Amino acid sequence: MSFSNSLKEFFGLGQYDPAVDPYYDDPAYEEAGSTSYSARGYVERDYEQRDYTAAIISVRPRNYNDAKEIGEPFRDGDAVVMDLSAVDKPTAMRLIDFAAGLCFAARGKMHKLSRTGDEHLVFAIVPENARTTVGELERAAHLR
């Protein structure tokens, strides 16, 4: 047998020999009974989610390594106000992307608190069921 024939046989591309298959003449297995399955439905949560007033944590990161100061309070359910004025633009963009990922993963919301042309670049991220107004976030960022 040549190398190419053995390679074809190994991958099942060679000619089929019914004498090699011991189960060729056996009847096909069929299970008696119903094969219909019910679709899985949406499972309701066992507890009632309640809105709560989150603590507002102000953070002024100096570099990307300070991202944990943003992520840990948000993970714990607190709103985080980020003043990104102290970092360069590429680092600020990375921190904004990081915060957007946090919001997406935890179903939170992101707010831009600073206005265009303002000297400060301030964003806030708020957890899913937190009752926190934009005014409260602006006061925590000292913008009001």
Q: CA-to-CA distance for 74 and 58, rounded, in angstroms?
A: 11
Predicted confidence (pLDDT) per residue in 119-144, tens digit: 789 999 999 888 889 999 999 888 87
Residue 131 lies inside a defined structural domain of this protein? yes
Higher local confidence (pLDDT), 101 or 54: 101
DSSP string, 12-34: T-S---TTT-TTTTSPPP---S-
Residue 82 lies inside a defined structural domain of this protein? yes
pTM for the full predicted model: 0.62
* Residue owning tokens 């069921």: 129
Work out how many domains the chain is built from and give that number: 1
Q: Among 33-42, 56-65, 80-89, 115-124, where is mean pLDDT lowest?
A: 33-42
Instruction: List C-alpha distances in Å: 19 to 1, 14, 15, 22, 24.
Output: 18, 14, 12, 7, 8
Tell the burial category of 35 from Cβ atoms under 10 Å away from its Cβ (0-12, 13-18, 19+).
Answer: exposed
For residue 143, the Cα-to-chain-centroid distance in whole angstroms is 31
CATH number for 110: 3.30.110.150
Residue 14 lies inside a defined structural domain of this protein? no
Residue 7 lies inside a defined structural domain of this protein? no
Residue 65 lies inside a defined structural domain of this protein? yes
